[in-house]
Amino acid sequence: MIGKILRTMRHHNKLKQSDISKMTGIPQNTLSQYENGVIQPTFEIINKIAKVCNFEITFKNKDITLTPDNIDRKEI
């Protein structure tokens, strides 16, 4: 599922895997493996790709909205 999301974000921005690779430093073949579900990226990698695609990862409930930018990792 995450691979489809990564691919959709990339396509939404009309970017190639090689473009994402250059912007993030993630090897193109690794990006392909993420998108095809061969390997699973870490949350940090997902966030890095989301940022270069102008997306923000958000977790919401009725009381709070969390993003990677507003949570202190030490809370976990």
At 28-45, the pLDDT tens digits run 999 999 999 999 999 999
Give domain limits for the chain: 2-75
- Compute the CA torsion angle 15, 54, 59, 44 (nearest 10 deg): 70
Q: What is the DSSP string of 9-69?
A: HHHHTT--HHHHHHHH---HHHHHHHHTTSS---HHHHHHHHHHTT----EE-SS-EE-TT
Say if residue 75's pLDDT is above 70: no
pLDDT, mean of residues 1-18 = 95
CATH topology of domain 2-75: 434 Repressor (Amino-terminal Domain) (1.10.260)
